[in-house]
Structures are given as C-alpha cells and as structure tokens.
C-alpha cells in the first residue's frame, strides 16, 4: 500500500521554512513557478503537472491578494482570497510546497530558494521571466510551458459575468 500524501496544510510554508526544507545544498532537482492561481482550472492543473515533471519537487510562489491587485487584474481580483487559494493548491499532488509573497515579483523568493528549474506559462519568453538570469547564473534551467488552449482565469471571469 502507498503511504498517504502529506496533509495539504503541511505544504504551506513561510520563506524561512521553504529555504530550510528545500534550500541548497540538496540532492533533489527543485522546480519553482509562481502566480496568482485565482479560480483554479484545468489549465492550471496541466501547467503545474508539467512543471513538476521537470524535477523532483515543485515550489509555488503565490501572490498575496494585495500583490494581485497591484498586477492590474482588476479591483475585484482576486476572487478567491489568498489563504483559500493556498489551501486549494496545496491539495494538488503535483505541488510539494507553497510560499505566499507580497512583492510585485518573486525575485527575492527565487534568490533565496535558488531553484534548479524556473518555469513560467506560455505568455512569457525566457528573456521576460523574472529570476531567469539568476537561475541560469546558478547553473539552472528556465522553461516556458505552453498554455492548455481554452483556459484562462480572465476568460472564465468574463464568461461568469456575461461579457
């Protein structure tokens, strides 16, 4: 019989816990990505699964509610509060740990965690990914994972609102 997965709440870490658990030196290949993850949908699930397959563990940097608003997604976003978003994401088997961040970018998180692989979604190019130069200078890789066609939180919100 397989061992039970870890409780979702045990995956939610602060930065110092993440560095202690996943920092260097380490034997595993660590993957990092970040985002808002408002209204989790199949595109998110496919993206996170593909990211996790690039290494042995996946850490997510999740934007706080305040940082989501600063990103210009709308005054009413996120629709799902940060703690609820974290709890839902922690329930995914592909996610090994989550860290909430309030800065406008995850650069400080990337500098401290020092992932082996940095991943972003298909709307990015490597030269536009925050932290890419730092990860590459550290000997790591940067990957862009294509979107699953037909899924976008913004499109879902617009459809719900009848736009």
Domain that holds residue 67: 8-160
Q: Which two tokens stand for residue 4?
A: 């039970």
Q: 13: which strand partners?
A: 99
Q: Sheet holding 30-35: strands in order across?
A: 12-13, 97-101, 57-63, 30-35, 117-121, 141-145
Q: 98 and 10 in contact (C-beta within 8 Å)?
A: no
The predicted pLDDT at position 152 comes to 73
H/E run at residue 99: strand 97-101
87 in a domain, yes or no?
Answer: yes
> Distance between CA 88 and CA 159 in Å, rounded?
22
- Give domain status of residue 149, yes or no: yes
Q: Report the distance separating Cα 146 and Cα 26, nearest Å.
A: 29
pTM of the predicted protein model: 0.92
CATH classification of the domain holding 23: 3.40.50.620
- Domain count along the chain: 1
Q: What is the pLDDT of residues 69-124, one digit of tens each?
A: 998 777 788 999 999 999 999 999 999 999 999 999 999 999 999 999 999 998 88
100 versus 3: the higher-pLDDT residue is 100
Question: Is 66 contained in some domain?
Answer: yes
* Structural domain includes residue 2: no
The verdict on residue 3 lying in a domain is: no
Is the omega angle on the peptide bond into residue 30 within 30 degrees of 0, that is, cis? no
């Amino acid at each position: 019989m397989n061992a039970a997965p870890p409780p979702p709440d045990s995956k939610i870490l602060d930065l110092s816990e993440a560095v202690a658990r996943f920092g260097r030196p380490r034997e595993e290949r660590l993957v990092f990505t970040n985002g808002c993850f408002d209204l989790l949908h199949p595109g998110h699930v496919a993206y996170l699964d593909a990211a996790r397959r690039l290494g042995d563990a996946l850490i997510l940097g999740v934007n706080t509610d305040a940082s989501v608003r600063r990103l210009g997604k709308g005054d009413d976003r996120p629709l799902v509060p940060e703690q609820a978003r974290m709890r839902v994401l922690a329930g995914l088997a592909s996610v090994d740990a989550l860290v909430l961040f309030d800065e406008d970018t995850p650069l400080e998180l990337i500098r401290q965690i020092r992932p082996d692989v940095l991943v972003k979604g298909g709307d990015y190019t490597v030269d536009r990914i925050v932290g890419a130069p730092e990860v590459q200078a550290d000997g790591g890789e940067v990957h862009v994972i294509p979107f699953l066609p037909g899924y976008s939180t913004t499109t879902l919100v617009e459809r719900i609102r009848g736009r």
